[in-house]
């Protein structure tokens, strides 16, 4: 593993060096081509009479080859591979034709400005890579672990589950784990992972994640995952996958170009040939045909559409929302129905105190104290929730109490206190005249009287209601809840949150069946977190998983939210719609501009310089518009 780690690091470093060197070389070639082009223009203007009319051809020809060699090479390669009709072919025949009719400087200008567009495109892509590269850098190289009583530095990949890891102030945490000890007011910056600016207090027992930064104090952490299974490693894999998936509109543009290019070439041939058949001057119409070809290059379409999606993925990654590919980003923008799992998604997924309902003259804290005392030795999840509530209210007493566990009923203490379900009280002939509840009820009785009950349930997350409201504002047709929990409990939570429809008591296969009824009606998003959600996450048009969810759910999902906040779902939908709007603007603008300038070319209004703007200028405007998808943080 250590060898593989070193190889990956070396390969990554070498790749970055190569990219930088290649880009620097392109800049140098561009600079020389521009100098030669300007020299040709000067020679043509001032030294034509001295050195002859052909003198400018030397610097202009050299500039043409320098700037246009990639275009000429791609055109030749595509021609050999049977891919004749693309923008490289259009550029080649248009500029060669310009040389034939003596427009040397314009031919070079086409290649120069096309090269400018390529360089700006690469810069824009590099800018969109910044946020993603920052996430790739989350994966720390080294870990300081305790081995045979001494702290030693090893590659993070070599750390194993159970290792004790020390992280100093300002260092990045190398592996997922549980804090064993945190000195002083130790805090962890989770912003690179979750998008949240507020640091998290890292006391003993708090879970921390690789890639986050220890801000203050020294942390001692027990590793709970290997480096390959850590949060940072999963993010790296998600980002790599995001770069390789194409969206449907992107494929449409590729197909569109196959038909668009031959149609343009046919139109150029007709413009060049037909008028001459009726006595028009051939050179005039041939020039117009060449201008038409240059104008028609589909650069703005084939560049700006994929760049828009890529920028959109980068923009969401800065918000702690990882989208696995452009296809999912596009589907997210068309979401009509959003279905949520309940436990762990809309709720916190742990038993907590919901409400205390005292009876027969007892106050709330006294009832809680009696119940916590009786539950002090129990390991049941409900008992832990009662003790936790008592501790938070400062009334948990550390005292030994003799208890007797009553299977399926509850607990009886040595002094006759009963704590358990309604059936326990009924078996003892104690009346508990209290209305039904969707929560787990812990009844308390003493001296033959019901003292009240404590309601324990899965508490709704603070931002769940905000998420439902935001989805409704975005125009989502229906919000749904799919859960394996009881119908009464699910309906109670759905009513509080304003969710439109509920499907309860579902097995994983039932969730898939329930979802399919909605996917048949429109684009459906499912939001979950558990292992049982994996099938429905994979089946949904867009599966969204919380970052703390089970590994198999993260693998099955299309979008991963790095926090447990449901309100990130409408945020992701809103941003994806912004990206789709930008791409639509690019397509409409590019096609409209092309149609206008082609018409001008046919009627002889547009010259080669205007053709340059139509080709490169439209492309640059579209690229800059696509880059807006990167703007803004949460």
**Alpha-carbon radius of gyration of the chain:** 34
Name residues whose C-beta falls within 8 Å of residue 453's C-beta, 6 or more positions apart in sequence: 357, 359, 432, 434, 441, 442, 443, 444
Say if residues 634 and 617 touch (Cβ distance below 8 Å): no
Query: Kind of pairing, strands 418-420 and 213-216?
Result: unpaired
**Block residue for tokens 């060699």:** 69
Of 525, 601, 510, the C-alpha closest to 557 is 525
Per-residue pLDDT, 303: 65
Say if residues 155 and 143 touch (Cβ distance below 8 Å): yes
- Over residues 401-433, the pLDDT tens digits come to 888 887 668 889 988 899 988 889 999 999 888
Of 89, 44, 96, the C-alpha closest to 286 is 96
Q: Say if residue 378's pLDDT is above 80.
A: no
Per-residue pLDDT, 3: 41
Most confident of 66-80, 187-201, 448-462, 465-479: 465-479
Of 85, 59, 62, 89, the C-alpha closest to 73 is 89
Per-residue pLDDT, 193: 60
Band (pLDDT 50/70/90 cuts) for residue 375 is confident
First to last CA, the chain: 37
- Over residues 318-357, the pLDDT tens digits come to 788 888 877 888 889 999 999 998 888 888 877 788 899 9
Q: What is the mean pLDDT of residues 297-322?
A: 75
Triad 560, 562, 568: Cα angle to 5°:
80
Given its phi and psi angles, is residue 206 left (phi above 0), alpha (psi -120 to 50 degrees) or beta? beta
CA 437 to mean position of chain CA atoms: 40
Q: At what angle do helices 87-100 and 57-80 cross, to 10 degrees?
A: 140
- Measured CA to CA, the distance from residue 307 to residue 625 in angstroms comes to 10
Of 595, 95, 603, the C-alpha closest to 296 is 595
Per-residue pLDDT, 2: 38
* Residues assigned a catalytic role: 341
Q: Please give the share of the chain, as a percent, with pLDDT higher than 90.
A: 20
Q: Say if residue 471's pLDDT is above 60.
A: yes
Helix H or strand E encompassing 357? strand 347-358
Residue 133, token pair as written in the block: 């590269």
Band (pLDDT 50/70/90 cuts) for residue 183 is low
Per-residue pLDDT, 246: 46
Of residues 39 and 113, the one with the higher pLDDT is 39
> Which DSSP letter does residue 346 get?
I
Beta strands in 164-287 (DSSP E): 164-167, 177-182, 187-189, 200-201, 207-208, 213-216, 219-223
- Over residues 224-268, the pLDDT tens digits come to 988 877 777 766 665 555 445 545 555 555 566 677 778 888 888
- Over residues 135-147, the pLDDT tens digits come to 555 567 889 999 8
Q: Say if residue 46's pLDDT is above 50.
A: yes
Of 461, 560, 565, the C-alpha closest to 198 is 565
- Over residues 557-582, the pLDDT tens digits come to 888 888 788 999 999 999 999 988 88
Per-residue pLDDT, 12: 47
Computed over every residue of the chain, the mean pLDDT equals 80
Per-residue pLDDT, 187: 77
Residue 483, token pair as written in the block: 């859960």
Per-residue pLDDT, 302: 62
Most confident of 375-379, 381-385, 392-396: 392-396
Band (pLDDT 50/70/90 cuts) for residue 9 is very low
Say if residues 432 and 422 touch (Cβ distance below 8 Å): yes
- Over residues 48-101, the pLDDT tens digits come to 666 666 778 889 889 999 988 988 888 888 877 776 666 677 778 777 877 876
Per-residue pLDDT, 403: 84
- Measured CA to CA, the distance from residue 224 to residue 221 in angstroms comes to 9
Per-residue pLDDT, 241: 55
- Measured CA to CA, the distance from residue 494 to residue 601 in angstroms comes to 62
Kindly list the strands in the beta sheet with 440-446, ordered across the sheet, starting from the edge strand earlier in the chain.
Answer: 347-358, 449-460, 440-446, 418-420, 410-413, 403-406
Residue 396, token pair as written in the block: 């948990």
- Measured CA to CA, the distance from residue 293 to residue 273 in angstroms comes to 14
Kindly list the strands in the beta sheet with 542-546, ordered across the sheet, starting from the edge strand earlier in the chain.
Answer: 321-323, 559-561, 542-546, 524-528, 337-341, 478-482, 501-503
- Measured CA to CA, the distance from residue 413 to residue 330 in angstroms comes to 61
Domains, the chain, ordered by start: 2-134+245-312+578-630 (no CATH), 142-226 (2.70.150.10), 321-347+461-577 (3.40.50.1000), 349-460 (3.40.1110.10)
- Over residues 535-556, the pLDDT tens digits come to 888 888 999 988 766 566 677 7
Per-residue pLDDT, 123: 66
3-state SS record for 414-445 = CCCCEEECHHHHHHCCCCCCCCCCCCEEEEEE
pTM recorded for the entire structure: 0.63
């Amino acid at each position: 593993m250590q060898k593989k780690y070193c190889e990956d690091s070396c390969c990554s470093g070498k790749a970055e060096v190569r990219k930088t060197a290649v880009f620097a070389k392109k800049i140098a070639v561009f600079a020389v081509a521009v100098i030669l082009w300007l020299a040709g223009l000067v020679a043509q203007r001032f030294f034509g009479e001295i050195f002859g009319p052909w003198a400018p051809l030397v610097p202009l020809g050299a500039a043409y080859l320098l700037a246009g060699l990639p275009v000429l090479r791609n055109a030749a390669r595509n021609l050999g591979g049977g891919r004749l009709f693309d923008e490289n072919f259009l550029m080649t025949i248009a500029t060669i034709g310009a040389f034939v009719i003596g427009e040397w400087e314009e031919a070079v200008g086409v290649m120069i400005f096309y090269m400018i567009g390529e360089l700006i495109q690469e810069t824009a892509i590099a800018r969109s890579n910044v946020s993603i590269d920052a996430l790739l850098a989350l994966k720390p190289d080294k870990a300081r672990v305790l081995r045979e009583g001494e702290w030693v530095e090893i590659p993070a990949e070599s750390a194993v589950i159970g290792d004790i890891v020390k992280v100093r102030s300002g260092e990045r945490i190398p592996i997922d784990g549980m804090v064993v000890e945190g000195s002083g007011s130790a805090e962890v910056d989770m912003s690179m992972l979750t998008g949240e600016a507020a640091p998290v207090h890292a006391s003993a027992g708090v879970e921390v994640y690789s890639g986050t930064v220890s801000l203050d104090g020294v942390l001692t952490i027990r590793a709970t995952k290997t480096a390959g299974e850590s949060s940072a490693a999963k993010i790296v894999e998600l980002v790599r996958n995001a770069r390789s998936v194409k969206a449907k509109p992107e494929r449409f543009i590729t197909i569109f170009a196959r038909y668009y290019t031959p149609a343009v070439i046919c139109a150029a041939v007709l413009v060049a040939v037909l008028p001459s058949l009726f006595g028009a001057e051939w050179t005039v119409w041939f020039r117009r045909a060449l201008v038409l070809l240059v104008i028609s290059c589909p650069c703005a379409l084939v560049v700006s559409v994929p760049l828009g999606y890529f920028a959109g993925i980068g923009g969401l990654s800065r918000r702690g929302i990882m989208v696995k590919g452009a296809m999912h980003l596009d589907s997210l923008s068309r979401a009509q129905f959003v279905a949520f799992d309940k436990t762990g998604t809309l709720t916190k997924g742990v038993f907590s105190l919901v409400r205390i309902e005292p009876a027969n003259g007892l106050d709330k804290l006294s009832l809680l104290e009696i119940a916590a005392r009786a539950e002090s030795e129990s390991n049941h999840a409900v008992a832990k929730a009662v003790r936790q509530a008592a501790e938070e209210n400062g009334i948990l007493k550390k005292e030994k109490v003799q208890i007797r566990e009553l299977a399926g009923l509850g607990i009886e203490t040595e002094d006759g206190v009963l704590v358990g379900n309604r059936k326990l009280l009924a078996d003892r002939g104690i009346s508990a005249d209290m209305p039904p509840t969707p929560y787990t009820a812990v009844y308390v009785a003493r001296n033959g009287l019901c003292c009240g009950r404590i309601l324990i349930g899965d508490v709704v997350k603070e931002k769940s209601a905000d998420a439902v409201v935001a989805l409704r504002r975005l125009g989502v047709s229906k919000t749904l809840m799919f859960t394996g929990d009881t119908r009464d409990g699910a309906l109670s939570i759905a009513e509080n949150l304003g969710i439109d429809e509920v499907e309860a008591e579902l097995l994983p296969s039932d969730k898939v069946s329930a979802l399919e009824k909605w996917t048949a009606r429109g684009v459906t998003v499912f939001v979950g977190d558990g292992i049982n959600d994996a099938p429905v996450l994979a089946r949904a048009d867009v599966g969204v998983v919380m970052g703390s969810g089970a590994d198999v759910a993260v693998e099955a999902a299309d979008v991963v939210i790095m926090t447990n906040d449901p309100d990130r779902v409408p945020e992701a939908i809103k941003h994806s719609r912004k990206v789709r709007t930008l791409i639509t603007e690019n397509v409409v603008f590019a096609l409209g501009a092309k149609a206008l300038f082609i018409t001008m070319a046919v009627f002889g209004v547009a010259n080669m310089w205007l053709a340059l703007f139509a080709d490169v200028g439209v492309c640059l405007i579209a690229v800059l518009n696509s880059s807006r998808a990167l703007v803004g943080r949460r």
